[in-house]
Chain A
């Protein structure tokens, strides 16, 4: 296991280096100038050139790239052009909200997706199964921003049950902050839960046809024991894969949701950074998100060994 872990960590370093390079190149190749955005539309070419020089944006790309890699190796992500503060600080300020949102959405997706998928597989062909299939296909097709705007329309505007947007007033406690995350978490979690329903159902159907399941039934075991102790236990590694991928994907989905609900999270920061061409923030945020994605995948792979005794590294 140790050898496997070391190999994976070495691989992570290579992956992160490639990500850093790709992100640097892409963010500098796309047209747009952060100095022009900062100064506003009335700025002349001379104003823009002066600001670029002050910000060090007129240095050759190769020099900027080396400086960027150098700071990443020192675990520093640079300073935001627009915010005038360190990228690490800006991310650290916003990460808790995005983490809360992602955990809530993931929890919702798993709590709905797995049981409903299992039930749908067990009741295959029934009216329930057909309804679940139809609803999950529709839910997987709905864009999260549309779900979000619809939730706002009814739960906030018509019924005044939940706040429209933002993250709570100054001095608000943790519970109040969480109420501002209910609708965003639903908007983010619903399409993901639909995917989990579909995969869980498929995995369960495969397993339910196995001989050992038939044997378990023939032995007279209670249906609940057959389903959870024998069938689901063998289906869960496939389910775990899609849950892991879905949860990692929620980080990307949070970008749109945070914009709709005006949540000051990492996603909102990335959108603003792209619109403003705030290169250090774009680079830093995407590096961090990629790192989290890679770590989640590593965690899922390690979890296989825990859940399935046949898996040995």
Chain B
């Protein structure tokens, strides 16, 4: 005979049913059941104002490259390809006149069609506002739209990095309608030509970009940033998540589809997870120990060479990045596979404290404290500074490690009286003259007559084939003057949902051509 179910047992069964239903009722349950139309990208923080021209923030470039495009773009081997331009520019023999033909029928997000007036106005804005644009624009003689699809730039003197700078989507001339480019600052209208358009920016909450249905892709197969671009999801959301552990947790929980700039510990947590794929961004960060060439103890080249001799780059990189797959010993300033690669790096990675001590004696070093600025805000920089401190102390240096936040370092390093060295990371730039330490005004202040002459020759030589040997000479001078010790290259790690495919893990991860399976 059937017995009626007891109230206790009924309550237990109801509770179990409610618990089973709970995930579906709570937002996380709904999120996981969501369609494949929204890509959630965890970022290291809020990007701030979305105008990409005046600032060189990598996060801003990663986001704005989805709705803005440049005239040119660079391929994985750093060669230049047209993007909004129809072809590479015609450059006059004297290197002063550039004629740029534009692609026909490229729509802006506001429905208008890009023409030469828009491009000329955008370039003028770039020259006015961008730290990368100000240098070439100091040589500008004129810029004009000679016909609706042709822009002509005339310089007062040759400046060969110009095309590379036009291909660099960081502090770059993003092309916008003339009415936007000539409007008063700050930028309020973010109309561009990209495969996505801006939906909403809510500070500290999200940046949302949505598919631009009328987008016209550049031709050719997709190859990194070059070639075909398609918006294959309806929306990409960039969600600030400053804590790296939280970013990794969000990926593991399925709330984020992508998270990068992970600490070694967070990266290791993702290993072996069935839903997650791990990797590194294609372009490694250059780890630099920049020395004060202008004032103080480090202004003596023998002391700088002693520092270079003392530093054991393998030890530093292992401490900073962990597993060997996440770093590379690299004396060449540029990596293998690029036109600028040069394996000749005398003095790189010696780890020789005896030689360093001998150089210090020769320099007349009397134990003056060497103030090294570093910050715990960037874990790899702090660890780099700690190991360098140990290496240099072994050689007889007296190191004073000054640990502050990044904003303090940015301010202090402008004053040559306040520091002797600092640690930093440098992103890969396709144009060698854009490397910060080659700018004599950049903290470090490397500006010898030999370097000055070589850099002048490099930036005024228009023939790309002739620029390469000039670059080799510049690198050789770098290893003679030792203004900075290049420690090596470290990779930025990422984790991605296995539902994601088609993304390009470049310097600025690109999410066009990216699909999200259900």
Contacts and interface: CB of A to CB of B under 8 A. Distances in A.
Interface string B395-433: 000000000111110111010000000001000000000
Contact of A164 (B56, B200, B208, B253): B253
A232 interface: no
A134 B239 CA distance: 40
B131 A47 contact: yes
Interface string A22-44: 00000000111110111111111
A83 interface: yes
A61 to B, nearest CB: 15
Contact of B27 (A32, A149, A172): A172
B408 A32 contact: yes
A39 B249 contact: no
Contact of A272 (B46, B171, B252, B255): B46
A84 B49 contact: yes
Interface in B367-411: 377, 404-408, 410-411
B49 A164 contact: no
Contact of B131 (A42, A161, A259): A42
A153 interface: yes
B259 to A, nearest CB: 11
A6 interface: no
Interface stretch (A118-126, A203-211, A260-268, A283-291): A260-268
Given A153-B249, A157-B252, A272-B46, A262 B240 contact: yes
B250 A164 contact: yes
B203 A83 contact: yes
Contact of B246 (A43, A90, A93, A165): A165
Given A41-B410, A156-B249, A161 B242 contact: no
Interface stretch (B304-312, B435-443, B495-503): B435-443
Of B46, B253, B406, B424, the most chain A CB neighbours within 10 A belong to B253
Contacts of A83: 48-49, 203
Interface stretch (B28-36, B190-198, B313-321, B451-459): B28-36
9 contacts: A31-B412, A36-B414, A41-B410, A41-B424, A44-B442, A149-B246, A152-B253, A166-B255, A264-B203
Interface of A: 30-34, 36-48, 82-84, 90, 93-94, 149, 152-153, 156-157, 160-170, 172, 176, 179-180, 259-262, 264, 268-269, 271-272, 275-277
A191 B423 CA distance: 38
A152 B26 CA distance: 15
Given A82-B49, A166-B239, A179 B27 contact: yes
Given A31-B411, A268-B204, A164 B246 contact: yes
Nearest to B205: A264
Contacts of B406: 37, 275
B253 A160 contact: yes
A164 B251 CA distance: 9
Contacts of B203: 83, 90, 93, 264
Contacts of B346: none
B448 interface: no
B506 interface: no
B31 A169 contact: yes
A269 B49 CA distance: 15
Contacts of A269: 204
B299 interface: no
Interface string B208-247: 1000000000000000000000000000000111110110
A121 to B, nearest CB: 33
B466 interface: no
A44 B246 contact: no
A157 B249 contact: yes
B22 interface: yes
Contacts of A277: 407
A262 B171 CA distance: 27
A170 B31 CA distance: 12
Given A33-B407, A152-B246, A264 B28 contact: no
Contact of B249 (A34, A152, A170, A272): A152
A149 B46 CA distance: 21
Contacts of A82: 48-49
A42 to B, nearest CB: 5
Smallest CB-CB A-B distances: 9 pairs? A32-B407, A264-B204, A36-B410, A40-B56, A33-B411, A44-B441, A31-B408, A164-B250, A264-B205
A153 B253 CA distance: 9
A168 B28 CA distance: 9
Given A38-B55, A160-B28, A272-B45, 19 more contacts: A31-B404, A31-B412, A33-B407, A36-B411, A39-B54, A39-B55, A41-B56, A42-B442, A43-B131, A82-B48, A152-B246, A160-B253, A161-B23, A163-B28, A166-B239, A169-B31, A264-B202, A264-B240, A276-B48
